[in-house]
Chain A
Amino acid sequence: MKKFVDIAVIGGGPAGLAAALEAWRAQPELNILIIERDHEPGGILQQCIHNGFGLHFFGEELTGPEYAGRFIAEVKKTSIEIMTDTMVLELNNERKILAVSAENGLIEIEAKAVVLAMGCRERTRGALNIPGSRPAGVYTAGCAQRLVNMEGYMPGKKVVILGSGDIGLIMARRMTWEGAKVEVVAELMPFSSGLNRNIVQCLVDNNIPLKFNHTVVRVDGRERVEAVTIAEVDPATKRPIPGTEETYECDTLLLSVGLIPENELTNGAGVEMDRITSGAVVDETRQTSIPGVFACGNVLHVHDLVDNVSNEAKLAGLSAAQYVAGGEKKVEKYHSVNATNGVRYAVPQRISADASGKLDVYFRVGNAYRPAKLVVRCGEEVLATRRKAIMTPGEMEKITLDADKITGDITLEMEA
């Protein structure tokens, strides 16, 4: 099967849905296609049944499926086509897509613009190197979330969780509410990347201890996990301190140790990548190094709030529509956006010289700062300053710049 479309959106999560909708709103006559490998659109939100989504975007607190449901309902009112159960295998630098589905077999799609919205996946044990046997009962927290919330299957009864990211915290409460006993949450760092609210309402509410500067040093059990041993680490070297081991009898170990953007397709197309975000390098329109290929959502950089995902996706969708309507416009010159002195990364990584109007730059700090002061400079000139009582690595921050004042490369840095 062969298809020609104006815009192909790869991934039907919140990013893909919002990008397609915004492109359609800008140019309703365009032929827009969303390609999603799952049975239904909605992405990871379908399994995030807790609330706390949409406070910024909709002004109310929704659960994940409710948030996704609003976008899906909007998309269904439009001419946007959604192909589900269809997996994209390849993208090339001329925006040709190769996909496969049980129904249609191999599908070749040629698109005038492509929006990458493939989301992210969780780091697994392989990326971690925990010694001991390799029994059943070790899951990523997100995998357990899917099993419990969508398949109605409980992965275990006595649980140890490694990592205190939000997904791990949410699953600690979820498993408890489904009748399991969560023994402990071990966190390698001296702080949690999860929200305070989740630490309080998921752990403290259920009397689950959270141990900072701790990691898993052994997993025992032949066929199924029988025990997990954790130990305190030296905060400087992260090496376990002998003699601090504690063993918990349990049948399940959940890993909540971070997310990585899912960029096999992006890499395959030869898109220039950012080493820190593990996502594409983009400009202020969210265009990658390949003209007509845009990226947004977790595939670009890991977001903690879906509201930010939707906003970024709207921008990418609008840019894709403008690209198709206006034809390829060669950007003459870019100014780069550099993150230094405590700022871990900034998106977009570059801004075209003819950009104008207000422009949001998203960034993350590498450490907790209280109080925090961020300064944006263009050469010697200070473009913007942002002060906050606190900035932490777990929360994405935003600063608004006036693009007309950007006359050269800019730098974001933390100051005392």
Chain B
Amino acid sequence: MEVKEMTCIRCPMGCRLTVTKDGDNYTVTGNTCKRGEEYGIQEMSCPMRVVTTSVRVIGGVRPVCSCKTADSVPKAAIDDVLKALAQLRPVAPITIGQVLAEDIAGTGVSLVATANNRAAN
């Protein structure tokens, strides 16, 4: 059995949840509504996060370009995503929404640019 305390972030109430995992069974207490239960189970079983960061760019007006994972990735995979994108060196010009890497760090999710970076002339 595994027990975890956490703050529900689905609304500003910020209820303190206690989530218990017993085999495949989850129980959530401390929540005020159903969304808190969902959140607690998700956070206990497989917390997911969108990674928003930046990559170094070659030949751009700015040395870096901001980017994000197009969807959320498992929290446990964040380190691998960061390591993988540290190796990327996309070449300017880069436009918003451009895919910088497909299937970043084997997550099945692509990395997309969130800003424009014009080529320096």
A residues at B contact (CB < 8 Å): 46, 49-51, 61-63, 65-66, 69, 148-152, 174, 177-178, 195-197, 199-201, 204-205, 370, 389-390, 392, 395
Contact = CB atoms under 8 A, between A and B. Distances in A.
Contact of A200 (B7, B56, B114): B7
Interface of B: 6-9, 12-14, 32, 49-54, 56, 62-64, 66, 68, 75, 78, 82, 96, 114-116
Contacts of A395: 12
Given A49-B53, A196-B7, A205-B75, A65 B66 contact: yes
A69 B116 CA distance: 9
A49 B9 contact: no
A205 B49 contact: yes
Contacts of B8: 196
Contact of A152 (B6, B52, B64, B115): B64
Contacts of A152: 54, 56, 62-64
Given A152-B56, A196-B12, A46 B6 contact: no
27 contacts: A49-B54, A49-B66, A49-B68, A50-B52, A61-B50, A62-B114, A65-B114, A65-B115, A66-B114, A69-B96, A69-B116, A149-B54, A150-B62, A150-B64, A152-B54, A152-B62, A152-B63, A177-B53, A177-B78, A177-B82, A196-B7, A196-B14, A199-B7, A201-B9, A389-B13, A389-B32, A392-B12
Nearest to B62: A150
A205 B50 CA distance: 13
Nearest to B69: A51
Q: Which 4 A-B pairs have the closest CB atoms?
A: A49-B66, A152-B64, A65-B115, A152-B63
A8 B50 CA distance: 38
Contacts of A51: 50, 52, 68
Contacts of B52: 49-51, 63
Given A49-B54, A69-B116, A177-B53, A390 B12 contact: yes
Contacts of A370: 13
Contacts of B14: 196
